[in-house]
Amino acid sequence: MAVNIQQSSDRDRLVRDYLPLAHRLAQRYRHTTETMEDLVQVASMGLVLAAERFDPDRGTSFASFAVPTIVGELRRHLRDRAWAARVPRSVQENLLRVSAAREAVGGRLGRSPTPRELAEESGLSSEDVLEAMEAAHAYEAESLDQRTGDDESADALVSIIGAEDDGYERVEQSAMLWPAAATLTQQERVILALRFFEDLTQSEIAARIGVSQMQVSRVLRRALDRIHTSAGLAA
């Protein structure tokens, strides 16, 4: 177990001297929706933790010890608070690698790198790069209360994304009509299906089942009257 630095002055000195390191590490995550102020605060807390746990007798430099601690705090913060949707840890890690690769390649080329270039730089497959880039949209979700325009009188997003759904009405109709349809004969069911589901004319139905058009008309009228009566509908 690491021995904590006993003298608070030594801890304070480490924190003061390595604050620029914490700021640089926080900069890696500026592509997220978290503000830089929040990221720097989390990184600084990680730096304090590293200073408290650092054991100089192990022969390791403080920077080597502090970086994993600070990065771990930043990633934990983003995992727990910054994502608007649940994203697998592996995809989150890939996004960080892709973001770092974008900065490195973009700095060398002076332009936005392609997915293939990002894959080569990050060591990921092109599929993993594209998945990570897509996952970046999960950082932030639009509020349903967001206005659709700059004017205060503009409609909220929630008021325009809805639509009339006639599915409920169809369910109610089915619940009401199916018991009535159960009283029909096989011939009546067939003719109703051909007329209202396949949209055939009476003459087409007659030709299909081998009866006269007059018979089809009578069967349709009789079946509909029975359904109306059974379902309590007005004819």
* pLDDT interval class at 213 (50, 70, 90): very high
What does DSSP assign to residue 78?
A: I
Residue 4 pLDDT > 50: no
Q: Taking the CB of residue 125, how many other CB atoms lie within 10 A of it?
A: 11
* pLDDT interval class at 1 (50, 70, 90): very low
* pTM confidence score: 0.41
What the block records as the tokens of 16 is 């003061």
* pLDDT interval class at 201 (50, 70, 90): very high
d(CA 158, CA 60): 55
- pLDDT, one tens digit per residue, over 119-170 is 999 899 988 888 888 877 665 555 556 666 666 666 666 566 666 666 677 7
Angstrom distances, CA of residue 39 to CA of 25, 52, 78, 94, 139: 9, 20, 9, 19, 15
At residue 75, the pLDDT reads 80
Residues 116 and 143: beta-carbon distance below 8 Å: no
Residue 36 pLDDT > 80: yes
- pLDDT, one tens digit per residue, over 87-120 is 677 877 888 788 888 888 888 888 888 989 999 9
Query: Domain ranges in the chain?
Result: 8-139, 167-231
Residue 86 pLDDT > 50: yes
Instruction: Name the CATH topology of 167-231.
Output: Arc Repressor Mutant, subunit A (1.10.10)
d(CA 208, CA 119): 61
SS3 sequence, 84-150? CCCCCHHHHHHHHHHHHHHHHHHHHHCCCCCHHHHHHHHCCCHHHHHHHHHHHHHHCCCCCCCECCC
Higher-confidence residue of 172 and 23: namely 23
At residue 148, the pLDDT reads 62
Average pLDDT, integer, range 175-202: 85
Residue 175 pLDDT > 60: yes
Average pLDDT, integer, range 63-91: 78
Average pLDDT, integer, range 169-198: 81
Q: In terms of Cα–Cα distance, which of 135, 128, 11 is closest to 66?
A: 11
At residue 141, the pLDDT reads 55
At residue 94, the pLDDT reads 83
Higher-confidence residue of 83 and 220: namely 220
Residue with token string 């109703």:
192
Q: What are residue 184's phi and psi, to 5 degrees?
A: -80, 155
Higher-confidence residue of 192 and 136: namely 192
> Any idea which of 17-31, 124-138, 189-203 has the lowest mean pLDDT?
124-138
Q: In terms of Cα–Cα distance, which of 21, 35, 13 is closest to 68?
A: 21
Higher-confidence residue of 145 and 50: namely 50
At residue 140, the pLDDT reads 58
